[in-house]
Amino acid sequence: MASKKGMAAVVPALLLVAAATAPPVTASAAVSGAARATAPGDPRDRNGPDDQNGQNEQDRRNGQGDQNGQGGDGQDGQNGQNNGDQQDGQNGNDQQNNDQQNNDQQQNQQQVKEGPNRDDFVNIRQAPRKPRVRQSRNGSRGSFTSRCGTNRNGHHNPDNFIVAPGVQNGAHHIHDYVGNLSTDGFSTDESLAAAGTTCAQGDRSTYFWPVMRIRNQQDDSDAAQQSAQDGNVGRIVTPASASMAFLGNPRGKVTAMPRFLRVITGDAKAGTNGTANARAQWTCSGFGDRALTDKYPICPGGSRVQRVLEFPSCWDGRNTDSANHRTHIVFPSGSGSCPGGTRAVPRLQMTLTYNLPNRALAFAVDSFPEQGHAPVTDHADFENVMPDNLMRRAVGCINTGRNC
């Protein structure tokens, strides 16, 4: 009995000795287990004009992040958090963010829908004719075109500050941009107003749409890996021409758009949402009286693929945006009349022309992973950052029947 008691005393003593001689876990070892997410490089760095405008991009991003509660260094300093606690908390948050990013990537890969299919392509001569709206005597027949180029400077990113503000890769497909040189997921009215532009006459508006790709050619862009994860493959094709035209209303005069008015057209998820908001128009040069909504056109020799993107133009007179980005500015009726409580403003019409192979499956528009590059998902976005005097000139040209 005494020997059992002796053993009982010896075992705890041995355990204490083992604990005392075990090597301590260092802070550096604990930190090494926490992965840190790094932001991808900003594709606008090549453009330069942002620095000329005296705007520090990183400061702008950090400031935006603080506003959204993402906790940059300045925000932590303001809150007076303990540095040790901040480091421990940041390590945990970084691990969670990294895990979330990996989960998002895996989810995207799982959700990628194959497409387009051969039956998504038809001969343009099979396309229905576009309905014609009769112009009334009081209608506004003029136009104003903002000359902004075709994005030869390569301003691309997978962001959308209107629909997914403060999010990188919020669109999960690459956008072409003309006009404002600073547009990305963190853009604000103020940042756009301070930036440079590719447009003539000081039009700092931002115009953007999903890119077109030739599917069997290599994507050599900086975002190729992310694009492939989102199901967007092939070489990005810059438009041969891009027209940003503002048109009138067939029933009456137009009034000026307010500065910073945000407008979208089409539905990037029409493949799953249905076609209620689909506004795609696919056609070929020389066939402007015909258009397809849910098919890509196969154009005859000498003709080019065209995308025509019509924007809503009946503004509620009060708001520059709305929760769904649609109710503050709507489309006119089939006759061209604006609904009660709205007024006609200049109607933006983008016409994008491409040199693409005239055969099925050769090309496709970028899309969300689950949309399968369906042509019905075509869409575009715009924010008006014209100087007020330029908008007044545009309205004058439209209302007096001139083409400016």
Q: So what's the pLDDT on residue 2?
A: 41
Mean pLDDT of each 10-residue bin along the chain, 404 residues long: 40 36 36 34 38 41 39 36 41 48 48 95 97 90 98 98 97 98 98 98 98 97 96 98 98 97 98 96 97 98 97 98 98 95 98 97 98 98 98 98 97
Indicate whether 3 belongs to any domain: no
The verdict on residue 7 lying in a domain is no
User: What is the C-alpha separation between 357 and 354, in angstroms, rounded?
Assistant: 9
Whether residue 66 sits in one domain with residue 138? no
Q: Which of 382, 339, 42 is nearest to 204 (CA)?
A: 382
Q: How far is CA 216 from the centre of its chain?
A: 24
Select from 92, 110, 128 the last residue of a domain. 110
pLDDT given at position 168: 95
Are 226 and 277 within one domain? yes
172 within a domain of the structure (yes/no): yes
In a domain, 126, yes or no: yes
Whether residues 88 and 152 fall in one domain: no
Domain membership flag for residue 8: no
Q: In terms of domains, do 157 and 50 share one?
A: no
* Same domain for 219 and 147: yes
Domain end: 110, 127, 149, which one?
Answer: 110
pTM for the model stands at 0.75
Q: Is residue 11 part of a domain?
A: no
Residue 116, preceding peptide bond in cis (omega within 30° of 0): yes
Instruction: Give yes or no: residues 242 and 389 share one domain.
Output: yes
Which residue range is the domain that position 67 belongs to? 16-110
The verdict on 121 and 105 lying in the same domain is no
Positive/negative CA dihedral, 214, 217, 220, 226? positive
Q: Indicate whether 93 and 147 sit together in one domain.
A: no
Q: Are 53 and 186 in the same domain? A: no
List the 262-266 sheet strands across, edge first: 156-157, 175-179, 206-210, 379-383, 262-266
Same domain? For 222 and 341 the reply is: yes
In a domain, 6, yes or no: no
Same domain for 168 and 295, yes or no, is yes
| Tokens representing residue 105 in the block | 């990537």
118-122, Cβ contacts within 8 angstroms, sequence gap of 24 or more: 118/360, 118/361, 120/294, 120/295, 120/296, 120/360, 120/373, 120/374, 120/375, 121/295, 121/296, 121/297, 121/298, 121/359, 121/360, 121/361, 122/292, 122/295, 122/296, 122/297, 122/298
End-of-domain residue from the set 110, 134, 155 = 110
Do 243 and 370 belong together in one domain?
yes
Domain tally, the chain: 2
pLDDT at residue 17, as a whole number = 34
